[in-house]
Amino acid sequence: MPKLNKEQLIDRLQKRITQLENGDLLEARDINALLNTDQIKLLEKNWLDQKKLRKIQITPKTEETKKSIGWKTIREVRLEIYKKALEEAENGLLDSYEKRLKELDIKRAKIYLQTYFSEINKGNDKARAASRANNKLTTRGLRRVDNLNIKKYTLNKRDKEIKEMESILKKRFKIEQDENEKKQ
C-alpha cells in the first residue's frame, strides 16, 4: 500500500477524530494504521497507565473525581494521541510539500533526459529530440521544459469568430421565439 502524504494523513486523522468524538467504534487496526511507531508506543503506554490506575483506584462516581485523578477511557486516550498526531502532521506539512515538489522536479528531469538522449541515439537532431522529450512530459501530465502551455483543444481565430456568431444567432432565435409566443 502506498505511503500517505501529509495532506492525506491530516484528512484521515481529522475523520478519525470526529468518529471518536461521535462515539463510533473503531477497530484497533484502524486506529494504528494512521499512527507511527512512536505514537503507537505512546498510546500503549498511556493505556497501560490507565489500567494500573484502575487496579489501584475504585471506580470514581462523578466526572469531577475522574478528572482529578486522571481517569480516562480508551476512547479519550486514543483521542488524545490522535490530536497529538494531527498536530505533528500539520507542523510537517510545509516540509512535506517542498519534498514532493523536489521529487516531482527530479521525475521531470529524468523523463526529459531519458527521452532526449534516446532520441539522439536514434539519430534524431537536437530540436526533434527536445520536442519529443517535451511531448513525453505532456503525456505524463508534467510541466514542459520549454514552458509551452499546449492544450488539447485550442481555438484558432476562425473558430472563435464562429462561436461568437453562434451565440449571437442563438440569442436572436430566442428573442424571435419569445415574440412568436407573445403573438399566440
Give the Cα separation of 62 and 79 in Å (integer): 21
Give the Cα separation of 60 and 3 in Å (integer): 43
- Do the beta carbons of residue 50 and residue 116 sit within 8 Å? no
What region, left, alpha or beta, does residue 152 occupy, with left being phi > 0 and alpha being psi -120 to 50 degrees? alpha
Is the pTM of the predicted complex or chain greater than 0.75? no
List helix spans (H) across 122-156.
126-139
Domain boundaries, the chain: 6-91, 102-139, 156-184
Say which residue the cell 468524538 belongs to: 21
Give the Cα separation of 49 and 84 in Å (integer): 18
The pLDDT profile of the chain, 184 residues, written as one tens digit per residue, is 567 788 888 888 898 889 888 888 878 787 888 888 898 899 889 888 888 877 776 777 777 777 777 778 888 888 899 999 999 989 988 888 999 899 999 999 999 999 999 999 999 999 999 999 999 998 888 888 887 665 555 677 888 888 899 999 998 888 888 777 767 6
